[in-house]
Amino acid sequence: MDKFQTTSEITGERIKQYLAQGKRFDGRKLDELRKIEIEVGVSKKAEGSCRVRIGKTEVIVGIKMGIGTPYADSPNKGNLMTTAELTPLSSPRFEPGPPRFEAIELSRVIDRGIRESKVIDFEKLCIKEGEKVWTIFIDIYSINNDGNLMDAAGIGAIIALKNARFPKYDEKNEQIVFGELTDKKLPLSDNIPIAITAHKIGDNIIIDPTQEEEDLSEARVTIGFSDGIISSIQKGNSAPLSFEEMEKILEIVKKSWKNIFKKIEKFLE
């Protein structure tokens, strides 16, 4: 890989020195997010979709509904499948080809955050017990990577779910009539899971890193959080975290959830 695409060591030193003064290159506080911009309904063919921009980072998330068979151990529950493509569109670091580890991890972390928060009532996705259930597909595409794709994807996933409507279902032929959406929303509770990732750089903890900052991340923790309840955690990268650091991360995540929720609230109705 072209080494020039990563933050140079001397710039990295400056970023760390500045963090130690409690400051970041773009003027943000350590626990401050970049500007979030959201647009819903960006793909008419999807049952639900949105574009999320955090600073210059951009993802598009779409929801498709399908008919599947339930798992044997949950015959009255629908299915959820989450995929992520880190497209070569979005960064010279992403090559075409089968999904790399980053894409697999991203989709799994987002999937767990959604699933475990119980925001989706899977029983309401049952069409015929043991035979036919709805499957929700959440597909995430990176459009531009300037750091923190994870949190952009997580916000995109929950907003796209909220934006989605069931397609028309032909009960006689037991199939979906595509191209016609009903008014019926997906069975979602008011528990809004938001994935928030904190990064350890030197002795500092920050959220929402730019690409330049993310390159310096020694460890990261993504927490799926919904109003006071943690439903998923993923620690990434090999640097260990002290007890105090983990406590600090929890504080920042708690605060950030409220912040982000306020900013995206109007897209969750």
Window contacting other proteins (CB under 8 A); options: 54-62, 69-77, 215-223, 254-262 = 54-62
98 interacts with other proteins by CB under 8 A: yes
Cβ atoms 186, 161 nearer than 8 A: yes
149 interacts with other proteins by CB under 8 A: no
Specify the residue, 117 or 145, whose C-beta has the smaller distance to other proteins.
Answer: 145
Give the footprint of other proteins on residues 119-148 (CB under 8 A): 137, 139, 141, 143-146
* Among 231, 232, 204, 230, CA closest to 218: 204
Burial of 189 (0-12, 13-18, 19+ CB in 10 A): exposed
Q: Which of 28, 32, 40, 43 binds other proteins (CB under 8 A)?
A: 43
Q: Are strands 132-144 and 79-85 parallel, antiparallel or unpaired?
A: parallel
Specify the residue, 21 or 238, whose C-beta has the smaller distance to other proteins.
Answer: 21
Map residues 180-219 to x or -, x wherever contact with other proteins holds by CB under 8 A. -------------------------------x--------
Q: Which of 56, 124, 255, 258 binds other proteins (CB under 8 A)?
A: 56
Specify the residue, 143 or 268, whose C-beta has the smaller distance to other proteins.
Answer: 143
Cβ atoms 132, 107 nearer than 8 A: no
174 interacts with other proteins by CB under 8 A: no
Rg (CA), the chain: 19
The structure tokens 């500007």 sit at: 35
Burial of 97 (0-12, 13-18, 19+ CB in 10 A): exposed
Window contacting other proteins (CB under 8 A); options: 12-20, 28-36, 201-209, 239-247 = 12-20
* Among 65, 66, 64, 100, CA closest to 84: 100
Q: How far is CA 91 from the centre of its chain?
A: 18
Note the residue count of the chain.
269
Specify the residue, 191 or 204, whose C-beta has the smaller distance to other proteins.
Answer: 204
Q: Which of 22, 179, 228, 240 binds other proteins (CB under 8 A)?
A: 179
| CA–CA distance, 235 with 51 (Å, rounded to integer) | 26
Amino acid type, 266? K
Q: Which residues bind other proteins (CB under 8 A)?
A: 2-4, 8-11, 13-14, 17-18, 21, 25, 42-47, 49, 56, 58, 60, 62-64, 66, 83, 85, 87-92, 95-96, 98-99, 137, 139, 141, 143-146, 178-179, 211
